[in-house]
């Protein structure tokens, strides 16, 4: 983290702390002028006029009294704002303050009523402010030798409803702690985050929570005929694991959901080796699995009334004389066989055993998360995950949650005709389709291993799980995508 942050909801400001900044949002020039007059703020004429002309402008004014710094942000008209505005803006501000010497910020939270058409719930409207502050405060400096002890930063939220805001702070912290867990796992290099280390971290994290962790090692995987996972992991000196994190709420669960995540701790491509440029980001090829554990953590933090079984094949796709090969036929726990045409399409292979295991748990529904294909990023860009399912209700609810959380997800076709493209002459299914529609055929491959009576959705997050420049809170590190999205989806289940 950048700062050691303490958040507080307040209903009025008695006295400003020293070294403080105040953030104000204005909807119009009149509001701005009134504010400046009322607080007797001395603003340079040129800067004032340019601020007034510019829609969405920001003005920073340093003073010789308290607060030391005013940050005045003019809001664009409502049509140009979105649900992410305050989250994204505040995430950016926290980063900006790093070297400012400011140790307290006071945020004037605008009235919810004006934004109600954008975010219906007052509580969630407030939560986006806190999420922005916390997400902006994330960094990953574990391996920097010159890192300093984080400075203290007190963040005061001045709102109309300080009691409700206190609840928003608590909820945001519960959610963002899960996002942090997920991001720390994804950002960790593969040299440290081996399948064994992954197991250790998951056990440590859930030790004091209502989450039971069970792990299958190589021997247990062999006993269970999980040869898909074993084959992909064969070349690595770090043997694979299946990590299962089971959260049971204290009361009666409304539903039992299995969450499955691709946990490839490093993807060299195997013998179908990737070029260096394509390999560089592949420590993040376990992002789907980190999303699963992030969600399990949030569910436990919030005591959500949903039973969750998180199922993660943790495996390194390495290269050695013992590597699985293009042309191999691999058997799976389900009994179905896979023709390996490309060892770089390994995610779908390990997920085959994991989805079969998930189906056997007889959940009410299954969602899997995977950095599965570059093709999905080509289709949707870096901001959105691809949603593949035959279940309209799941698709609609996931897309709805994505609109609310701004973790964007977009449904793509899932037509059965595409099954033809992954037929194999020597096995039950091939792990490679043609170039076109690669994200869809990858999903169709997974479908072979899911019980058709269980509603199931596949989410390909190869784009949004990795660092990208489209928001202030995703631009520096892997993002923890999907934790906020699915938390919202789970909260909406009735």
Q: Which residues bind Zn ion (CB under 5 A)?
A: 264, 267, 285, 344, 346-347
One residue of 268, 334, 373, 457 binding ligand BES per CB under 6 A = 373
Neighbours of 421 (CB within 10 A): 17
DSSP states of 263-280: EEEEE--TTSPPPHHHHT
Q: Which is closer to ligand BES, CB of 178 or CB of 347?
A: 347
Determine if 289 is a binding residue for ligand BES (CB under 6 A). Answer: no
Determine if 432 is a binding residue for ligand BES (CB under 6 A). Answer: yes
CB 114 within 8 A of CB 29: no
Determine if 288 is a binding residue for ligand BES (CB under 6 A). Answer: no
Q: How far apart are CA 409 and CA 460, in angstroms?
A: 9
Q: Which is closer to Zn ion, CB of 284 or CB of 429?
A: 284
Give residue for tokens 């975010």: 119
Inter-residue long-range contacts of 189-192, CB under 8 Å, 24+ positions, other chains counted: 189/143, 189/283, 190/265, 190/266, 190/282, 190/283, 190/316
What DSSP designation does 118 have?
A: T
One residue of 344, 353, 365, 491 binding ligand BES per CB under 6 A = 344
Q: Under rule CB under 6 A, which residues in 345-364 are in contact with ligand BES?
A: 345-347
Q: Which is closer to ligand BES, CB of 240 or CB of 347?
A: 347
Least distance to Zn ion, CB of residue 370, Å: 8
What DSSP designation does 178 have?
A: H
Binding mask 80-119 for ligand BES (x = CB under 6 A): ----------------------------------------
Q: Which is closer to Zn ion, CB of 278 or CB of 305?
A: 278
Q: How far apart are CA 274 and CA 282, in angstroms?
A: 10
One residue of 127, 194, 239, 371 binding ligand BES per CB under 6 A = 371
Least distance to Zn ion, CB of residue 270, Å: 7
Least distance to ligand BES, CB of residue 252, Å: 39
Counting residues that bind ligand BES (by CB under 6 A) gives 15
Q: How far apart are CA 365 and CA 354, in angstroms?
A: 14
The helix/strand/coil state of 140 is: coil
Of 123, 120, 94, the residue nearest 109 (C-alpha): 123
Report cis status (omega within 30 of 0) of the bond before 308. no
Binding mask 455-474 for ligand BES (x = CB under 6 A): -------x------------
In the list Zn ion, ligand BES, none, the entry touching 373 (Cβ below 5 to 8 angstroms by class) is: ligand BES
* Alpha-carbon torsion, ordered 144, 149, 150, 152, to 10 deg: 180
Q: Which is closer to ligand BES, CB of 122 or CB of 344?
A: 344
CB 409 within 8 A of CB 485: yes
Q: Which H or E run includes 149? A: none
Q: Which is closer to ligand BES, CB of 133 or CB of 349?
A: 349
Q: Which is closer to ligand BES, CB of 375 or CB of 380?
A: 375
Count each helix (H run) and each strand (E run) in the chain, helices first: 15, 18
Determine if 285 is a binding residue for ligand BES (CB under 6 A). Answer: yes
CB 9 within 8 A of CB 159: yes
Question: Could you tell me which stretch among 207-215, 373-381, 405-413, 419-427 binds ligand BES (CB under 6 A)?
Answer: 373-381
Determine if 374 is a binding residue for ligand BES (CB under 6 A). Answer: yes
Binding mask 290-329 for ligand BES (x = CB under 6 A): ----------------------------------------
Name beta bridge partners: 317.
267
Least distance to ligand BES, CB of residue 157, Å: 37
Active site residue ranges: 274, 348
Residue 22 vs residues 17, 72, 90: alpha-carbon distances, Å: 11, 8, 12
Q: Which is closer to Zn ion, CB of 328 or CB of 364?
A: 328
Q: How far apart are CA 185 and CA 202, in angstroms?
A: 10
In the list Zn ion, ligand BES, none, the entry touching 462 (Cβ below 5 to 8 angstroms by class) is: ligand BES
Give residue 270's region: left, alpha or beta (phi > 0; psi -120 to 50). Answer: left
Question: Could you tell me which stretch among 8-16, 37-45, 144-152, 372-380 binds ligand BES (CB under 6 A)?
Answer: 372-380
At 456, list the tokens. 């199931």
- Give residues in contact with ligand BES (CB under 6 A): 267, 281, 285, 342, 344-347, 371, 373-375, 432, 438, 462
């Amino acid at each position: 983290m950048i700062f050691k942050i303490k958040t507080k909801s307040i209903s009025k400001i008695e006295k400003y702390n020293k070294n403080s900044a105040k953030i104000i949002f204005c909807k119009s020039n009149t509001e701005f002028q009134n504010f400046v007059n009322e607080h007797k703020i001395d603003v340079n004429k040129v800067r004032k006029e340019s601020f007034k002309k510019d829609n969405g402008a920001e003005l920073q004014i340093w003073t010789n009294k308290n607060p030391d710094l005013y940050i005045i942000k003019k809001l664009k008209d409502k049509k140009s704002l979105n649900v992410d505005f305050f989250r994204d803006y505040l995430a950016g501000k926290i980063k900006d303050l790093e070297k400012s010497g400011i140790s307290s910020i006071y945020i004037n939270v605008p009235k919810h009523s004006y934004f109600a058409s954008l975010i219906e719930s007052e509580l969630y409207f407030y939560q986006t402010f806190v999420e922005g502050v916390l997400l902006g405060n994330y960094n990953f400096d574990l391996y920097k030798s010159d890192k300093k002890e984080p400075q203290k930063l007190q963040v005061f939220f001045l709102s109309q409803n300080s009691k409700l805001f206190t609840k928003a702070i608590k909820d945001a912290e519960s959610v963002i702690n899960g996002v942090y867990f997920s991001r720390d796992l994804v950002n960790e290099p593969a040299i440290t985050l081996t399948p064994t280390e992954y197991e250790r971290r998951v056990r440590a994290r859930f030790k004091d929570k209502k989450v039971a962790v069970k792990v299958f090692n190589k021997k247990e995987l062999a006993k269970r005929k999980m040869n898909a996972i074993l084959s992909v992991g064969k070349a690595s000196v770090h043997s694979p694991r299946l990590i299962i994190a089971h959260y049971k709420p204290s009361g009666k669960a409304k539903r039992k959901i299995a969450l499955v995540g691709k946990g490839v701790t490093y993807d060299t491509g195997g013998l179908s080796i990737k070029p260096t440029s394509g390999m560089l980001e592949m420590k993040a090829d376990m992002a789907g699995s980190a999303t699963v554990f992030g969600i399990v953590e949030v569910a436990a933090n919030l005591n959500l009334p949903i039973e969750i079984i998180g199922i993660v094949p943790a495996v390194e796709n390495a290269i050695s004389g013992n590597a699985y090969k293009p042309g191999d036929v691999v058997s799976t726990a389900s009994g179905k066989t896979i023709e390996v045409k490309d060892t770089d399409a390994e995610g779908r292979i390990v997920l085959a055993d994991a989805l079969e295991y998930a189906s056997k748990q007889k959940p009410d529904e299954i969602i899997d998360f995977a950095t599965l294909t570059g093709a999905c990023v080509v289709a949707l860009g870096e901001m959105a995950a691809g949603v593949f399912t035959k279940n309209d209700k799941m698709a609609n609810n996931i897309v709805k949650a994505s609109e609310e959380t701004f973790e964007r997800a977009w449904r793509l076709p899932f037509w059965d005709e595409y099954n033809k493209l992954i037929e194999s002459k020597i096995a039950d299914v091939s792990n490679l389709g043609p170039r076109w529609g690669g994200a869809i055929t990858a999903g169709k491959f997974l479908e072979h291993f899911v019980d058709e009576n269980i509603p199931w959705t596949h989410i390909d997050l190869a784009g949004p799980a990795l660092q990208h420049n489209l928001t202030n809170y995703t631009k520096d590190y892997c993002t923890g995508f999907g934790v906020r999205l699915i938390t919202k989806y789970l909260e909406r289940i009735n």
